[in-house]
C-alpha cells in the first residue's frame, strides 16, 4: 500500500530540492501518495498566512511530512511558520545527524554527531513584547514591582520559559534514541550559571532523568565550552542534547564541520506526527537557479523512509548518496562542482537503483 505523505515544497530553493527528493524516493521503489501543500511566501500572498490550516490538516491525516524550508522575514511581526508548525503539531524533538561523508574534504574526518534539540520551548516560545508597546510598559511595571528589575524603556523583550515536563520528555527521547541507535554518550549544553531558572531547569531535570539510564554516558557542559570542543575535538562528541536556541546554532555549526548546510538532514518528531526537513533555510541567494545541493533534502527523505519502516529503501538512498560523492560524480557549487540540482538528483537516483539491485 502507498504511504500517504504531505509534501511541503516551501520557499526559495525548497521546491527545487523537494523535486530532487521525490525523484530519489521514486527510485528507491517506495510507493507514495504525495499530498502537496503550499506553505510560505506563496500561501501568505494568496491566503494571508504562511501556514494555512489545510497544511496542518493534511499532516494530521498523513502523520508524516517532507518539508522544504520556509522563509521567515527578519524583524517583522510575522511568526515563523517553521516554529508554528513544530508547536502546533507538538513536534518536540529535532534530530539532526551530522556525519562525515566520503569525498567531502573537511578539517575533521570520521565525525558522527547527532544534535537533539528541544523544539517547542525556550526563546522560541513566541512570547515577545515589542519595544514601546503598552503590553511591555505593563510588564516593565510588574517586573519593577515584583523584584525591582529594571528594563530600559527602549528595550524589546523575549521570554525564555523552560519547563520540567518539556525537558523531561526531550531528555527521555534523547536517552531512548541513544539506546536504540547504540550511541555511547550524551553531552548536554547549557548556560545554567547565568540563566539559573530556565537553563537550570533543563540541566537539573536532565541530571535526574539520567539516573534511569546508567548504560549511556551523560555529561553536561556549558554551551560556550561545547562550541570550543566542537571546533577543536569534535571526534570526542556523540549525541548533543540542547535547548531550542543553542540547538539551532549548534546544528549549523555541526553542518559546517561535515561540509556545509547542503548536506545535513533533520527530523522533527512528536508523539503523533513526524516532519522531515533539511537543517538549511530557503537560501534566497540560490533560489530559482537550479544550483542548490539536494543532498540535505534527500537525506531528510531517507530519514523519513526509515521512520516509515522502509529501511531497505532508506539504506539504498544513503548508499546512493555516498556512491555519488565518493566517485567524484556530479557535484553542486557548494561542494566545488558545477552540476545542477537536477543532474545531481538524477545521479543519486541512479545510484540508489543500483544500490537496490546490488542487495
Q: Which is nearer to ligand ATP, 189 or 262 (CB)?
A: 262
Please enumerate in sequence order all residues whose Cβ is within 8 A of that of 16, keeping only pairs 6 or more positions apart, or say none. 287, 288, 290, 292, 294, 341
Name the nearest CA neighbour of 59 among 31, 96, 84, 79.
84
Q: Please, what is the minimum distance in Å from the beta carbon of residue 294 to ligand ATP?
A: 7
Using DSSP bridges, classify how beta strands 217-222 and 185-190 pair: parallel, antiparallel or unpaired: parallel
Positions 131 through 160 that interact with ligand ATP (CB under 6 A)? none
Is residue 224 among the annotated active site residues?
Answer: yes
Per the annotation, the verdict on 248 as an active-site residue is yes
Shortest distance, CB of residue 224 to ligand ATP, whole angstroms? 23
| Minimum CB distance to ligand ATP, residue 193 (Å) | 30
CB 254 within 8 A of CB 98: yes
173 — phi, psi (to 5°)? -55, -45
* Residue 223 binds to ligand ATP (criterion: CB under 6 A): no
Catalytic residue among 124, 199, 252, 273: 124
User: How many positions of this chain bind ligand ATP (CB under 6 A)?
Assistant: 17
Angstrom distance (rounded) from CA 359 to CA 354: 9
Site membership for ligand ATP, residue 262 (CB under 6 A): yes
- Only one of the segments 117-125, 194-202, 283-291, 317-325 lies at the binding site for ligand ATP (rule: CB under 6 A); that segment is 283-291
Do 344 and 325 contact (CB within 8 A), yes or no?
Answer: no
Please report the DSSP string for 235-282 in residue order.
Answer: GG--EEEE-HHHHHHHHHHHHHHTT-GGG---EEE-SS-EEE--SS--
Q: Which of 286, 306, 321, 355 binds ligand ATP (CB under 6 A)?
A: 286
The residue range among 117-125, 150-158, 285-293, 299-307 that interacts with ligand ATP, by the rule CB under 6 A, is 285-293
Residue 283 is a binding residue for ligand ATP (CB under 6 A): yes
Minimal distance, residue 160 CB to ligand ATP, in Å = 21
Q: How far is CA 16 from the centre of its chain?
A: 19
Alpha helices in 148-243 (DSSP H): 164-180, 199-210, 223-232
Given candidates 23, 296, 324, 325, which one binds ligand ATP under the rule CB under 6 A? 296
Which one of residues 205, 282, 340, 352 is an interface residue with ligand ATP (CB under 6 A)? Answer: 282
Given candidates 226, 245, 334, 356, which one binds ligand ATP under the rule CB under 6 A?
A: 334
N-to-C CA span, the chain = 22
Window 46-105: residues binding ligand ATP (CB under 6 A): 69, 71-72
- Regarding 331 and contact with ligand ATP (CB under 6 A), the answer is no
In the set 40, 243, 266, 281, which binds ligand ATP (CB under 6 A)?
A: 281
CB 160 within 8 A of CB 210: no
Alpha-carbon gap, residue 259 to 101, rounded angstroms:
8
Q: Name the residue whose CB lies closest to ligand ATP.
A: 281
Q: Cβ(298)–Cβ(341) under 8 Å?
A: no
Which of 39, 162, 206, 261 touches ligand ATP by CB under 6 A? Answer: 261
| Cβ atoms 295, 279 nearer than 8 A | no
Of 89-97, 242-250, 276-284, 302-310, the window that binds ligand ATP (rule: CB under 6 A) is 276-284
Spatial separation of the C-alpha atoms in residues 39 and 52, rounded to whole Å: 7
- State which of positions 25-44 bind ligand ATP (CB under 6 A): none
285 binds ligand ATP, rule: CB under 6 A: yes
List interacting residues with ligand ATP (CB under 6 A): 13, 69, 71-72, 261-262, 280-286, 292-293, 296, 334
Tell me the catalytic residues.
124, 191, 224, 248
Amino acid at each position: 500500500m502507498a504511504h500517504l505523505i504531505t509534501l511541503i515544497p516551501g520557499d526559495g530553493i525548497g521546491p527545487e530540492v523537494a523535486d530532487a527528493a521525490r525523484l530519489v524516493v521514486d527510485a528507491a521503489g517506495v510507493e507514495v501518495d504525495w499530498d502537496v501543500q503550499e506553505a510560505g511566501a506563496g500561501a501568505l500572498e494568496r491566503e494571508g498566512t504562511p501556514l494555512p490550516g489545510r497544511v496542518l490538516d493534511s499532516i494530521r491525516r498523513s502523520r508524516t511530512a517532507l518539508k522544504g524550508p520556509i522563509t521567515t522575514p527578519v524583524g517583522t511581526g510575522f511568526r515563523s511558520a517553521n516554529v508554528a508548525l513544530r508547536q502546533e503539531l507538538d513536534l518536540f524533538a529535532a534530530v539532526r545527524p551530522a556525519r562525515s561523508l566520503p569525498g567531502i574534504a573537511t578539517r575533521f574526518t570520521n565525525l558522527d554527531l547527532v544534535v537533539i534539540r528541544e523544539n517547542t520551548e525556550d526563546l522560541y516560545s513566541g512570547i515577545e513584547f515589542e519595544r514601546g508597546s503598552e503590553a511591555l510598559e505593563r510588564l516593565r511595571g510588574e517586573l519593577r514591582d515584583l523584584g525591582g528589575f529594571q528594563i530600559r524603556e527602549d528595550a524589546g523583550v523575549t521570554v525564555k520559559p523552560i519547563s520540567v515536563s518539556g525537558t523531561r520528555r526531550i531528555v527521555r527521547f534523547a536517552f531512548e534514541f541513544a539506546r536504540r541507535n547504540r550511541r555511547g554518550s550524551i553531552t548536554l549544553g547549557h548556560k545554567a550559571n547565568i540563566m539559573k531558572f530556565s537553563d537550570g531547569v533543563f540541566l537539573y531535570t536532565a541530571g535526574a532523568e539520567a539516573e534511569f539510564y546508567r548504560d549511556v554516558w551523560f555529561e553536561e557542559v556549558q554551551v560556550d565550552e561545547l562550541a570550543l570542543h566542537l571546533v577543536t575535538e569534535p571526534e570526542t562528541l556523540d549525541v548533543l542534547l540542547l535547548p531550542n536556541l543553542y540547538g539551532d546554532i549548534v546544528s549549523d555549526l555541526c553542518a559546517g564541520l561535515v561540509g556545509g548546510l547542503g548536506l545535513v538532514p533533520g527530523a522533527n518528531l512528536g508523539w503523533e506526527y513526524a516532519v522531515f526537513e533539511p537543517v538549511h533555510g530557503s537560501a534566497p541567494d540560490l533560489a530559482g537557479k537550479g544550483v542548490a545541493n539536494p543532498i540535505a533534502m534527500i537525506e531528510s527523505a531517507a530519514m523519513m523512509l526509515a521512520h516509515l519502516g522502509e529501511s531497505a529503501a532508506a539504506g539504498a538512498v544513503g548508499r546512493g548518496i555516498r556512491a555519488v560523492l565518493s566517485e567524484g560524480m556530479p557535484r553542486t557549487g557548494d561542494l566545488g562542482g558545477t552540476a545542477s540540482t537536477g543532474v545531481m538528483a538524477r545521479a543519486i537516483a541512479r545510484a540508489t537503483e543500483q544500490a537496490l539491485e546490488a542487495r
